[in-house]
Amino acid sequence: MPAMPHETDPAALEEVRAKVEKAYSAWRAYSNFTQEQVDAVVERAAAAGRQHARRLAELAVRETGYGNVEDKTGKNLLSAEWLPKKIQGMRTVGLLREVPGEGIVEYGVPLGVVAAIVPTTNPTSTVIFKALISLKAGNAVVFSPHPHAKGCTCETAELLHRAAVEAGAPEGVIQCLTQPTLESTQALMRHPRTAVILATGGSGMVRAAYSSGKPAFGVGPGNVPVLLDRSADVPEAVAKIVQGKSFDYGTVCSSEQSLVAEESLREPILAALGAARAHLCDERQREALTKLLITPAGTINAKCVGQPASRIAEMAGFQVPPDTPILAVEIQGVGRAHPLSAEKLSPVLALLFVSDFAAALDACEAVLRFGGLGHSAVIHARDEARIHEYARRMPAMRVMVNTPSPQGSVGITTNLFPSMTLGCGATGGNSTSDNVGPLHLINIKRLAYAVRRPEDAFQIPAAGPAHRTSAEIVDRFLASRHGTRTAEAVAECACNRSLTVAAPKRAVDPPQVTEPLPVAIVDFVCESDVRDALRDSRKIYIGPRSIVTPSARDLAGRHDILVLAQR
């Protein structure tokens, strides 16, 4: 994708300050809305998104050159129609719930101003999605569009803003930067009034969000493996894979990237791909695609993002029919030596055939670790044991079964939460593994009543042997030294900072002095004390209750340093 301009523009920075302040003022009023008022605002904005879904899709394709109108219309409707249905009745502000038996009452507390970063691949559907979940959570939102999609992004934001105001929302509750640069986006994320960041974009932008010092929901890149198991219906599975891979020309981050299957399925899979009008690339075409799609630095060629298969083939130097949905190219492994095993953001599908199911699991995991950790994975199978083994093994937060990947990941064909922001969890360096929604944009305040007295919560055990003083331990030991040392006495000595009572064996007992001595009897002797005595050519006088470390006793025994004196 094209990089965001990197330049200092005072006017752009001033726009950030002005629009964040305006959004903050609007939020101060909006934060007092009841749940019923909030829901009315959300529904009016969603209705505007539904009404203009196709027009906004046309604007996006015209401005960015990515994807196609039909599929972008579908994504707009996911956000404007399917999402509102899912969150209808969801409580987000004011009283959320009471648990009388536990003495807990929960209240939803809006966060404030949401900084929403919008990618060039999904510039209108992302705005609808982020605006609606922000409004549902009682927040205001300021959008930072990609410079190559600022026209359609700002148009979408203003359309929703007008609808929200018509429903009673304060003026300024939705704002959009018209002069986006890297510096202005960073200023938006770091502004003191910004409460939380919803970052969707390149890995650099997501890292910037997490390093801004603000709470952030950023999502990592997707490099989705799809395992086609021998228990699956191969023609049906391949048809779904082609449907997912071709959706909006591969611009969805959860699009299938590499199809992995056992070698025994090669011919059935290739036949099914042909039946689905996919083009099977030969060796020369594979090399041409590799050079075209992946730069020497390992990044995606922005000119290929979201282009139809026929256009990509033409750019690579060969021709395919105009209605070709995807290009399928066989690879021999995963990793830097096999560039097409990476995310491609285009209707190009890698094929990898392996020896058995175990090797297929290894390959799918390797694909995820090669740029897609935590995101999504797919399996087409009927064998439940293999489905669950795949789910347990894959380092992905969404593992979908028998569905096109993009449509499954965002909740169109599954019951996952409808979302355009798919968390990758700690595995992918993200703060959440969820499909992000309104409940991620609120805090929950809890009113907690006393239900027990402190003394009824738990019992503190009485002090046991471990709490005795050193002197008590020595007395106990000495009382037993003329008999058998009990395990308890030994354990207590060991607990006393790894020290041992001065009870040398008879062969090395220090000489005893029975007459009173004009010398000090020490209570503790360590190895350094013995070395000092050796250096000064003097004795160390100990009593029956003196403590001597094992190393001190051994060293003193060799040089006759210790003298046992009776008080």
pLDDT tens profile 146-159: 999 999 999 999 99
Distance CA 325, CA 151 (A): 29
DSSP bridge pairs for 542: 522, 564
The answer to whether residue 47 scores a pLDDT higher than 70 is yes
Q: How large is the average pLDDT for residues 188-197?
A: 96
pLDDT at residue 470, rounded to an integer: 53
| Closest alpha carbon to 397 in 417, 371, 423 | 423
Amino acid 103 reads G
Quick one: average pLDDT of 196-212? 83
Model pLDDT, residue 515: 47
pLDDT bucket at 565, cuts 50 / 70 / 90 = confident
Side by side, the strands of the sheet bearing 104-110 are 94-99, 104-110, 442-448
Kindly list the structural domains of the chain, giving each domain's residue range(s) and its CATH number in brackets, ordered by start. 22-219+439-446 (3.40.605.10), 224-413 (3.40.309.10), 465-565 (no CATH)
Range 379-394 average pLDDT: 98
**Per-residue pLDDT for 507 more than 70?**
no
* Residue 353 predicted with pLDDT over 90: yes
- Beta-carbon contacts of 244 under 8 Å, excluding residues fewer than 6 positions away, are 255, 256, 378, 403, 404, 405, 406, 407, 408
pLDDT of residue 2: 52
The closest of 266, 254, 194, 184 to 225, measured between CA atoms, is: 254
* Helix (H), strand (E), coil (C) string for 143-196: EECCHHHHHHHHHHHHHHHHHHHHCCCCCCCEEECCCCCHHHHHHHHHCCCEEE
Confidence at residue 489, expressed as pLDDT on a 0 to 100 scale: 38
Lowest mean pLDDT among 454-463, 518-527, 540-549: 518-527
Q: How confident is the model at residue 466 (pLDDT cuts 50, 70, 90)?
A: low
Reported as a single tens digit per residue, the pLDDT across 84-117 is 999 999 999 999 999 888 999 999 999 999 999 9
As a whole number, mean pLDDT of residues 443-465 equals: 86
Alpha-carbon dihedral angle through residues 324, 330, 333, 335, given to the nearest 10 degrees: -30
Predicted confidence (pLDDT) at residue 483 exceeds the cutoff of 50: no
Residue-level pLDDT at 210 = 84
- Please tell me the least confidently modeled range out of 4-18, 25-39, 311-325, 516-530: 516-530
pLDDT at 100: 83
The pairing of beta strand 500-501 with beta strand 540-548? antiparallel
**pLDDT band at residue 525 using 50, 70 and 90 as cut-offs:** confident
End-to-end CA distance of the chain: 88
Rounded to whole angstroms, what are the CA distances from 521 to 7, 180, 503, 532, 546? 79, 81, 16, 16, 8
Reading the block at residue 104, the tokens are 């807990």
**pLDDT surpasses 90 at 503:** no
Average pLDDT of the chain to the nearest whole number? 89
How much helix, strand and coil, in percent to the nearest 5, is found in the chain? 45, 20, 35
Three-state DSSP at 525 gives strand
Note if 281 is an active site residue: no
Q: What is the number of residues in the chain?
A: 567
| Residue 396 pLDDT > 70 | yes
pLDDT reported for residue 505: 41
The H-or-E segment that residue 565 falls in is strand 562-565
Instruction: Say which residues have a Cβ less than 8 Å from residue 385's Cβ, sequence separation at least 6.
Output: none
**Which of 152, 154, 176, 253 does the annotation list as catalytic?**
253
pLDDT score recorded for residue 175: 97
Give dist(CA 297, CA 358) in Å, integer. 32
